[in-house]
Amino acid sequence: MLISDKMNQAMNGQIGSELGASNQYLQLASYFASEDLPELEAFFFRQSDEERAHAMKFVHYILDAGGKVRVPALEAAPQDVDSAEGAVQMALDWEKTVTEQINTLQELAIEEGDHAAQGFLNWFSTEQIEEVSSMGELLHTMQRAGDQLLLVEDYLSRRGDPHG
């Protein structure tokens, strides 16, 4: 086995966090769909898919390292979104939380001298810079647009998918 029990347990927890983020983004996409904002809807559906893909990276890493996958129970995504700006702020806050979680996993990998886990987690550290930056940019764009959400829609349609 190439993964310690402690790292295995911590990564299983991260699977739950990534799946929870996927569910949160699914909820936000649904909010934007109900508000007839198709670009924001599509953006958050893509984010949901991306977070699920992140969870799967952890699943495959654990399996490849000889560990045991234990998907934790997930907390329900927040159901009440009060505004478009509030939705994006929620997403930014979540990405900052995930960044802290990845940093904690990195610290554990360093503490354990687990070079394979450090290499694996480096990708996530870089990805989190992109995620926080992208959500921060979207939030600032939304704040500048005020109640003119069609300007945000236009911005997203012109920007395209920064992950693609």
User: Which is the CATH superfamily of the domain at 5-73+81-159?
Assistant: Ferritin, core subunit, four-helix bundle (1.20.1260.10)
pLDDT of residue 164: 46
Question: What single letter denotes the amino acid at residue 94?
Answer: W
Q: Residue 138, exposed/middle/buried by CB under 10 A (0-12, 13-18, 19+)?
A: buried
Q: What pLDDT does 161 receive? A: 59
pLDDT tens-digit profile of 42-62? 999 999 999 999 999 999 999
| Residue 145: how many other CB atoms lie within 10 Å | 17
Structure confidence by residue, pLDDT tens digits, 73-100: 998 888 888 899 999 999 999 999 999 9
Q: Which of 49, 64, 42, 51 is nearest to 19 (CA)?
A: 51
Q: How far apart are CA 115 and CA 108, in angstroms?
A: 11
pTM: 0.92
Burial 51-62 (b: 16+ CB within 10 A, else e): bbebbebbbebb
Identity of residue 21:
A
Instruction: Say what angle helices 149-159 and 115-145 make with each other, to 10 degrees.
Output: 140
| The pLDDT value given to residue 75 | 86
Kindly state the average pLDDT of the residues 104-110.
98
State the average pLDDT over residues 117-140: 96
